[in-house]
Structure 1
Amino acid sequence: MAESFVFGVADSLLGKLASYAYEEASRAYGVYEDLQRIKDTLSIVKGLLLDAEEKKNKQHALREWLRQIRNICSDAEDVLDGFELQDKKKQVMKVFGSTSMKVRQFFSSSNPLAFRFKMSCQIKEIKDRLDKVAADGTRFGLMRIDDEPGLSVQRRELTHSHVDVSSVIGRENDKEAIIQLLMESNPKGLGDKSPSVIPIVGIGGLGKTTLAKLVFNDKRIDEVFQMKIWVCVSNDFDIRHIIIKIINSAFLSSSPPPSVSISHQEDINHFDIEQLQIRLRHKLSSQKFILVLDDIWSDDRAKWIELLDLLKVGAAESKIIVTTRSNPIASMMGTVPSYVLEGLSEENCLSLFVKWAFKDGEEEKYSNLVEIGKEIVKKCAGVPLAVRTLGSSLFPKYDLNKWIFVRDHEIWNLEQKKDDILPALKLSYDQMPSYLRQCFAFFSLYPKDYIFNVASITTLWIALGLVRSRNGIEKPENIARECIDDLLSRSFLQDFNDYEFNCDFKVHDLIHDLALYVAKEEFVMVDSNTRNISDHARHLSIVENDSLGHVMCPNSKSVRTILSPVEGVGLDNETLLHTWLSRYKYLRYLDLSDYSFETLPNSIAKLEHLRVFILNNNIKIKRLPHSIFKLLNLQILDLSGCTELETLPKGLEKMISLQYLSITTKQSILSLDEFANLNHLQFLAFSYCKNMNFFFSMAHQLTSLETLSLYSCWNLKSLPLHIFPKLQTLIIVDCKMLNMSLNNENTIQKLRLKHLCIGDFPKLLTLPGWIEGAAETLETLTIYKFPNLKTLPMCLTTLTRLKKLYIYDCPQISSLPCDIHHLTSLEDLVIEDCPELCRKCKPQSGEHQPMIASIKNVSIGEPRGQDEERRHQTSKVNL
């Protein structure tokens, strides 16, 4: 299934080849013509890829052809990466070459002539390989398709309105809730003739269509609505086709018997759009109708408004039910909040499973199988179609081994028919653009029920080049966040929590199965059951310590990712580490969390393509090799939790690509010289630096820094805030010796801070006055663990842009500033573990209620569960 990523890889490579930076570099090194030929050939091949994707299951040879293109594109990316690396070496030489003989010696092997010859040979090889596969592609009879229509989407069968009520289990409450919405008056502001639109939204297979059928066929609906219309939209939102379906369905549901209606039904398929809209308006005029638009995929608002305008001829209180998998579509169409369909209870799942797995009454003879069935339905995670899929696969097979096999294997490993759960879910996957399909596949590297950190997963995507700026201005992290929002809108993510400085979420078990299904051999999650890893593997994750002793490393040199996503699972096999470092020189992402050696081998410097290097929670490591400065492409270095690290490596200032740096060290003083040349550094974090007294020994500015986090730096005394002129996010937690006036309070006129979190200051009696300097920009303020703080400063009410205010564990604060209602931008107010303040802000009875009544979201004194505890860890901003 990984062949389906080829289009995205080719598209990404073409984007790089077309960029100004690569064009200039190729001219400088005399390879411009060759790269242009590669770009031209790749454009042709890209046009054939979509046709090949549709035909690959019918022609086995096409799968190998797609794999060859995948390999060529990946190799080409590695070659192009050489341009960036060479440019960075020149930058370092320019700054440090005159004073450092070691640097000159290191880079002497990369002189322009040698580099030009090397690049020319590599590019010629890529061009020859690509020319060959392009020629091979024509022999398969492929057609050139230059647009990506969401890949070949195998639509579900068109739905109808009939349902056997006795076959539906566990949806009675949902049916009653929808019927209640249908009986209510239309919301104000719709106009006399605008029908109310009720969206039902949820992942594929959850039973949205079945629920709509239950409602549609309820006798109460017949009593209330004069006309019932069922239209399955499914494919493109074609206005003409939808109008025809509405007219035909409305004709059939009118008062004459169905047989009479059918015999007199007029052929309107040849009507033009003008004739159709006249006939539609005539048919619906003054009729109180209920219309079900089932299976909506299009987010074209203009088409929806056009259709809605035609439907306004109906009587007042007409209703429309739409079913969709997309939250944005539901929001666009709905006039009332979306009805988010939840999964069935485990009890209802078992009842449904028994219905599909056994003949009537047969389950009483096989109590042992029913017990296994209880375990099988847990795989289904409340999704009825999954229950039906597994139940049907066992009917009427009462072989114990068959049932055990189904119980012990992932759904994606079991045989699937056209109408089963994975094909149903894959419809949503096929609708994604190619870059999003690649991003989604990485969920397969994590265990089920894993709590994903948004920053961590998006960092992975960025490091691998899956998301990139579309205009050279947008930040990749913003585009990656758009990908998260897109997946959330498609109902692929669940339990999404948006905290002060980060977000987390889970992936539905069946969505995880889908990720495994589409990822296949290119993505491997290594556990104790792993025996052989395909040589086509590119992305590995280690999720069990026991797996490291026997796991076989793929021989391919194309491995790009090694992850350690599970806390406490880390590498302790030195031989395996040396194998990784020597074999996988094109690694982009290396995670050695919970690693248990005192040093790293010098060979780490050979990973010249590395973007992300994570070493957090390595409690034994004392030093890093100084050769680490050779990682000029490195953007993220995470040394947090390395409590025995004696000093930062020399040469840190030469790592000019660093954007994110998180440090735990025993050093007492840090020199700004080590950071002065890090012109791209945006995030800097210090945690558990117990000996650190002074933040920097010099007073130069770090002009690119946007986020600064200080956590449990217990001896830190001063913080020169003025050296961070672009600082937007500041987190200071558990730095008990820090002078919070920052020794320069009077010199700070204005701050650009947008987000501020300060906490765990037992001795502090007031909040620092310099907060007022951010009055024009501050959007989020979090304060917690101030046991002696009695009042909030009046300057709080000057923060006119404040959107979110969080107050935790400040037991002596008894009131809010009386002018808090002046904070007209305030949308979220959360107060916890502040007994007197919580009492005064209590809903309905609290005396502060009039002051906070206009705030959109207010949470007062709610119990702090596991999720809340995670939120209170936001000061330790993770990757």
Structure 2
Amino acid sequence: MDDVWNYRAWEDVLKTPLVNAAAPGSRVLITTRDEGVARGVSAIWPYHHIDTLATDDAWLLLKMQVLSSEINENHIDTLKDIGLKIIQKCGYLPLAVKVMGGLLRERGGLHRDWQHVLDDSKWSRTKMPDELNYAVYLSYEYMPSYLKQCFLYYSLLPKSRIFTMDEVVGMWLSEGFIHGNSNDLEELGAHYYKELVSRNLIEPDYSYVNLWVCNMHDVVRSFAQYMTKDEALVAQDGNNDILAKLGSQKFLRLSIETNRSQSDELDWKSLQAQQSVRTLISTIQIKMKPGGSLVNFSSLRTLHIECTNMAVLVESLHQLKHLRYLALVNADIYVLPGNIGKMKLLQFLDLCGCTKLVNLPDSIVKLCQLRLLSLPEVSMVPRGLCGLTNMRRLNMFPAHLDGDWCSLDELGPLSQLRVLVLTELENVSASSFAANARLGEKTHLIKLFLGCTSKLGDDGLVKKNEGVSEEEQQRIEKVLDKLCPPPSVEYITINGYFGRQLPSWMMSTSMVPLNNLKTILFYDLACCTQLPNGLCQLPNLQFLQVSRAPCIKYVGTGFLQVAAASFPMLNELILDEMVEWEEWEWEEQVQAMRHLEKLVLSTCRLRHVPPGLASNTRSLKILDLNYVEHLSYIESFPSVVELIVNDCPDLERITNIPNLQKLNIQNCQKLKVLEHIASLERMVLEDYSMEKLPEYMRDIKPRNLQLFCRLWLLSAVAAGQSGTEWDKFSQVKHVKAYARDGDNQRKWYVGFKY
């Protein structure tokens, strides 16, 4: 449909059978284009976005990818002519430009390197299907061989599930892709993983820190799967040709995931012919019958299976003599076979989500090659774990009392640990058990998680039936004092802690030299009354998050320590659900957080941001405020370029943010003043209760406006000059407005372009 109406006919358009017949969740696009004085309106349904870039935007994107400590912006600008030719070959597609940027950064900043990439004959390879991207192929061809196999393997991972860096690296190790000193294999695998990120072939999920989770773009995935089509089968249940392929071709690797639109189960027998398979990854429910066995899969190195009815197969696990990696995720099993100790080559054992598996067999302590053990949330580990001295990662280790089961004492000899996750620390009866774990001697430890069972409810307050006695508080404080990490640690999480103050090794008076510490996360601090005053001295701390600390009402000068510049390298600070927090003291003369780029304040009662915050955080780029209950104004942040305010009920004024480019306002009904933000480029305004556009819209001139509102307000906006709202947004060059149609959840869309 490509008819043209005058914009005054918008209400007639809204009533057309085509629009009203739109399916739930569909969108209608109304665009306007400048045609002199008069402007026409065209309607297109459904709306399809063409994902290409303008030349300047494409060049900027390429530069962002190429920039590094070795290649500066001025040097890149000297290569612009050749860079634009490469962009042209990429078809101005963002993904292709990003991938080429990653390749060019790896190649270096010399003109001949870029020219070599531009002239490469692989841009016109004819054997590859047209729908695959040649920029990805070119990047692949320039990879070293060790990285190619890791990249191709990543494409096997089901999209429907999150895989962490540790899991991916463990699979690579199990397949023999990583060679080197046995002590450094995980570190080398992490380096390969980060190299794929650097090349933009996998993309970080920024809801996780430290590249912990990444995703692979569908276009990149399709290419990688095409390159492995003769060796690997990636399929979804319900795909009609799975059985045919399984019956006619032998594969080295199988990856089968759920197609959520279909729920057909795959019969285990249909997999039995794949006797050469080295990797089997399945996230679907597989039909099991009595007599099912793993005996046919004698070549398996990696088995990741998510199936509740695994009990039939468990008894034959010990027959997988070559298995290195075993993940039984969410399996409905009560026991592991008593002879699991016969799997002498097993290096990675993940039992995450096997909630019915309470007791582990005694023979598990005979798995001397284990590098990773991830336990169910509730489990009892037999004594003898101290003999597994190859262990690098121990997840969800329960700190039970001494007796017939493994306790904290047995962690002492595990000197190779890189990652340690301790749970149920409230069960430790004496600090001496914690001392025997000898954490301070584990010189390779990088990540440490210290967890207690949370005493907070959904409202962020202590549960009524979870009172904490003074004796319990003192005991848990002593336990954590003895779990002091070594100087090597880079990442610490403390969860569910209920002492009145955090461990003494986080306090300035007795601070251990945690000079490598980069990330700290606190969750559910039920009884802490103040933040620790030693953190500000950490020279390399980059990320700090405090979530749910109901007893903290005041953050004072001790947090920043007046004597010296505090938090010298802190990049991101998140203070979330400190539901009783009302005051933050920070005077302008107190120097702190000079490198802070992102600040998130959420679900608190803070009445104003302290003077020192605006005057000291000269690198602050993103300010994100969510349900800051009593905050009435935001002003004088000279460096902020992006501001998000969401559900701040008392916010009345935003002013004097001269470099602000992106502004997102959601449900701030009292906001009346928006001024002195002359650099504003993009604005998002969301409020489905609005009866009209706010008056402050007259005082700003963003280039782009996105509006989420009621359907009838959308109609008033779409009426253009003849509507009541025209003078509030007529100065905006690009307008996109969206509305929902009541309970039907139909979405309407109108766009203006001048």
Q: Where on the TM-score scale, by shorter chain, does this alignment land: which range?
A: 0.5 to 0.7
Higher strand proportion, which one? 2
* Structure 1 match to 2:547: 784
d(CA) in 2 for partners of 1:624 and 1:601? 9
> Are residue 491 (structure 1) and residue 491 (structure 2) matched?
no
* Structure 1 match to 2:573: 805
Shift in Å, 1:658: 0.9
SS of the counterpart of 1:536? coil
Indicate conservation of the 8 Å contact 1:446/1:541, yes or no: yes
Q: Which amino acid aligns with 1:629?
A: V
Shift in Å, 1:199: 4.8
Instruction: Show CA shifts across 1:168-205 (max 9, x none).
Output: 994786358569999xxxxx9959x9575695799999
d(CA) in 2 for partners of 1:618 and 1:552? 20
SS of the counterpart of 1:602? coil
> Are residue 208 (structure 1) and residue 88 (structure 2) matched?
no
User: Which residue among 430, 443, 455 is the counterpart of 2:166?
Assistant: 455
Q: Which amino acid aligns with 1:651?
A: G
Q: Which amino acid aligns with 2:597?
A: D
User: Which residue among 588, 597, 617 is the counterpart of 1:852?
Assistant: 617
Instruction: Show CA shifts across 1:718-744 (max 9, x none).
Output: 323465333443211112257634599
Q: Cα RMSD between the aligned structures? A: 4.7
> Are residue 794 (structure 1) and residue 562 (structure 2) matched?
no
User: Which residue among 584, 594, 608 is the counterpart of 1:815?
Assistant: 584
* Aligned residue runs from structure 1 range 283-298, under 5 A: none
Taking a change above 3 Å as real, the CA distance of residues 429 and 305 of structure 1, as seen in their structure-2 partners, is closer
d(CA) in 2 for partners of 1:189 and 1:666? 52
Taking a change above 3 Å as real, the CA distance of residues 722 and 630 of structure 1, as seen in their structure-2 partners, is closer
User: Which residue among 110, 113, 120 is the counterpart of 1:303?
Assistant: 110
Instruction: Show CA shifts across 1:109-130 (max 9, x none).
Output: xxxxxxxxxxxxxxxxxxxxxx
SS of the counterpart of 2:149? helix
Shift in Å, 1:653: 0.9
* Structure 2 match to 1:562: 303
Once structures 1 and 2 are overlaid, which stretch shifts more, 760-769 or 650-659?
760-769
> Are residue 511 (structure 1) and residue 241 (structure 2) matched?
no
Instruction: Show CA shifts across 1:325-360 (max 9, x none).
Output: 9xxxxxxxxxxxxxxxxxxxxxxxxxxxxxxxxxxx
> Are residue 767 (structure 1) and residue 531 (structure 2) matched?
yes
* Structure 2 match to 1:535: 275
Indicate conservation of the 8 Å contact 1:660/1:682, yes or no: yes
Taking a change above 3 Å as real, the CA distance of residues 607 and 836 of structure 1, as seen in their structure-2 partners, is same
* Structure 2 match to 1:145: none
> Are residue 525 (structure 1) and residue 255 (structure 2) matched?
yes
SS of the counterpart of 1:570? coil
Q: Which amino acid aligns with 2:619?
A: S
d(CA) in 2 for partners of 1:604 and 1:615? 13
d(CA) in 2 for partners of 1:172 and 1:817? 46
SS of the counterpart of 2:309? coil
> Are residue 590 (structure 1) and residue 354 (structure 2) matched?
no
SS of the counterpart of 1:421? coil
Taking a change above 3 Å as real, the CA distance of residues 651 and 295 of structure 1, as seen in their structure-2 partners, is closer
Shift in Å, 1:661: 1.0
> Are residue 482 (structure 1) and residue 212 (structure 2) matched?
no
d(CA) in 2 for partners of 1:776 and 1:200? 41
* Structure 1 match to 2:602: 833
> Are residue 656 (structure 1) and residue 418 (structure 2) matched?
no
> Are residue 428 (structure 1) and residue 139 (structure 2) matched?
yes
Return 5+ residue gaps in structure 2 as ranges. 1-47, 63-71, 233-250, 258-264, 455-471, 627-643, 648-754
Shift in Å, 1:477: 3.6
SS of the counterpart of 2:154? helix
SS of the counterpart of 2:316? helix
d(CA) in 1 for partners of 2:540 and 2:196? 30
d(CA) in 2 for partners of 1:743 and 1:495? 32
d(CA) in 2 for partners of 1:179 and 1:758? 41
d(CA) in 2 for partners of 1:836 and 1:475? 47
Taking a change above 3 Å as real, the CA distance of residues 324 and 653 of structure 1, as seen in their structure-2 partners, is farther
Instruction: Show CA shifts across 1:459-501 (max 9, x none).
Output: 33244442344xx599434432332232233332236427445
Shift in Å, 1:576: 1.4
d(CA) in 2 for partners of 1:830 and 1:667? 38
d(CA) in 2 for partners of 1:721 and 1:202? 58
Taking a change above 3 Å as real, the CA distance of residues 179 and 206 of structure 1, as seen in their structure-2 partners, is closer
Indicate conservation of the 8 Å contact 1:640/1:663, yes or no: yes
Shift in Å, 1:675: 1.7
Give the TM-score normalised by structure 2.
Answer: 0.56
Indicate conservation of the 8 Å contact 1:838/1:860, yes or no: no
Indicate conservation of the 8 Å contact 2:624/2:645, yes or no: no
Shift in Å, 1:620: 1.1
Indicate conservation of the 8 Å contact 1:733/1:760, yes or no: yes
Taking a change above 3 Å as real, the CA distance of residues 743 and 628 of structure 1, as seen in their structure-2 partners, is same
User: Which residue among 758, 763, 772 is the counterpart of 2:522?
Assistant: 758
Taking a change above 3 Å as real, the CA distance of residues 210 and 666 of structure 1, as seen in their structure-2 partners, is closer
Indicate conservation of the 8 Å contact 1:595/1:618, yes or no: yes
d(CA) in 2 for partners of 1:575 and 1:459? 26
* Structure 2 match to 1:578: 315
Instruction: Show CA shifts across 1:524-583 (max 9, x none).
Output: 02454572352221001121123555988573522100013xxxx33423331222321x
Instruction: Show CA shifts across 1:735-785 (max 9, x none).
Output: 22576345996983423161322231233221234546x534544322221
d(CA) in 2 for partners of 1:494 and 1:687? 31
Q: Which structure is larger by alpha-carbon Rg, 1 or 2?
A: 1
Shift in Å, 1:659: 1.4
